[in-house]
Each structure stands twice: as structure tokens, then as C-alpha cells.
Amino acid sequence: MNEAITPLIIGNWKMNGKIKQLGEIVELDIILNDMNTDKCHVVICPPTTLLISAAQLNENSKIAFGGQDCHVEQSGAHTGDISAEMLKDAGAQYVIVGHSERRADCGESDEIVQGKVEAAFRADITPIICIGESENERKQGRALEVVLEQLDKSIPTDIKDIIVAYEPVWAIGTGLVPSINDINEMHNAIRVALIKRFGVNGEKTPILYGGSMKPNNAKEMLELNNVNGGLVGGASLKASDFIQIIEACQ
Ligand code: PEP
């Protein structure tokens, strides 16, 4: 844990949750109300259909909200898409960009991801930029090279606030996690690359780990100096699981 960066625990609900699922936010909100959360920021990225309702549940909530993706443009003829400005209007302060599921499902390149980061800056919301190697790339010993190239190409030259999420693709939703040494090595390499490119801003950029982070493994990961929080999928859907990961920050 790096004392200079307040850790973030971000829940990515993916394509899960109908209106009933808002009850998990209410439950989490009640628990967080009684907790000292100075040591950790909590964010939930629900499906867009729930974003407005979630953001309006409690205006004094300690939970912030984010979108799961945005279009590069502000508005226009892009059926089915959502712009960063629309997310902001709906109550989002963050947006996930370049998640490996979108890179795979929608063919998103690093260049497209970079456009989405710029869209988030334009709308004044913070992009959470996902990068990570595939199983094959790790087996071939290319994990560091692949991740650092994605980092380099997905981030524009002029940055405002960004969050980087290292998410090995093979660890997402599988229950598999890299060894603690591998996580440490990757996060340290990302930190060095960020400092080399952005100086002081690179020192302050939160680097989250994502990929089967669970209540039973979060603490060990979050203790690493350059792991500044987690991007959590499956374990963010139930308040009772998610709160244990938040507690691991304390
Ligand atoms: C994710 O969707 O970003 C993720 C890390 O999922 P999970 O925690 O379920 O592996």
C-alpha cells in the first residue's frame, strides 16, 4: 500500500443486474455510512440502465459511480452507444475504457481506447484504462512487453487524472490469479513507465489490479506498494463480498 495514493475499490457489474440489484447498493451504502472510508474510495460501475437510479439513491453516499464504456464522440448517429457526456449527465464520475471484454467483443484497438480516454477528459470524468496480457502472451514470456505497449498506446500525450487497471485477461472471471511476485513485477513496471512518461503525474496515478480479486486474496495484493486498489467483477455483485474487499484496504 502506497500511503500517498488513496486506494480505490471499483466494482464492475458488467452486463449483470436488473432494478432489484440496486438493493445491493443500498446495503453497501448503509454499511459504508458507519465506516471510516478515508482510507479507500468506493466506486460502482453498474449497467447503464441502472446508472441514474443508482446515482440518485443517496446524494450523500460515499459510493461514486461510473460507466462501463463510452463512445469517442459527444453525440450523433451511433445507435446503441453512450457518450462520456451522457454518462456524466447520468451521475457518473468515472468510466471504464478498454476492458478486455470490449477489446475482444467489439474489436477495440489501443487507438480507439485512446480516443475514449480523450472523450472522458472532454466530459470531465476519470477514465479507468484497462490493460492486460492474454494467457498465450504470458506463456510466451511477453506479458510485460504487451502490457507496456498497451499502456503506451492507450494513453494520450496530455493526461489529466487517469486510473490504470492491470487485468490479466486469463484471470478475469476464472478464479485464477497471477502469483504475488508477478503482480508486484507488473505493477512496478507500469509505475516506472508512467513516471518516465508523465513525471510527477505518473507517481500519483492509481494502478489497480483486476482479475478474480476476492475477499480471500485482496489483502495480500493490496499490501503491495504499487497496487493502489482493485477493479472487481464477480465479487462486486454482492455487498457482503464487496465490503470485505473494501475492508482489506483499511
Ligand atoms: C473485471 O471484470 O474487470 C474483473 C476483474 O472481473 P472478475 O473480478 O470477475 O475477474
| pLDDT (tens digit per residue) in 31-66 | 999 888 778 999 999 999 999 999 999 888 999 999
DSSP 238: S
Helix intervals (H) in the chain: 22-33, 48-56, 84-89, 100-105, 110-123, 135-139, 143-154, 180-198, 200-204, 218-222, 239-247
Which secondary-structure segment (H or E) carries 214? none
Q: What is the spatial distance between Cα 175 and Cα 170, in angstroms, rounded to a whole number?
A: 9
| Contact 236 CB / ligand 1 (< 6 Å) | no
pLDDT tens-place string over residues 196-245: 999 999 999 999 999 999 999 999 999 999 999 999 999 999 999 999 99
pLDDT at position 250, please? 77
Residue with the nearest Cα to atom 4 of ligand 1? 233
User: Cβ distance 172 to 213 under 8 Å?
Assistant: no
Computed over every residue of the chain, the mean pLDDT equals 96
Ligand 1 centroid–CA 77 distance in Å is: 31
Can you give the residue ranges of every domain in the chain?
A: 8-247
Active site annotation includes 71: no
Q: What is the CATH number of domain 8-247?
A: 3.20.20.70
Active site annotation includes 99: yes
Q: What is the spatial distance between Cα 2 and Cα 5, in angstroms, rounded to a whole number?
A: 6
**Helix (H/G/I), strand (E/B), else coil: 55:** helix
| Contact 207 CB / ligand 1 (< 6 Å) | no
Catalytic residue among 99, 118, 133, 187: 99
Beta bridge partners of 42: 9, 63
State mean pLDDT over 15-26: 97
Q: How confident is the model at residue 166 (pLDDT cuts 50, 70, 90)?
A: very high
Q: Please give the model's pTM, rounded to 2 decimal places.
A: 0.97
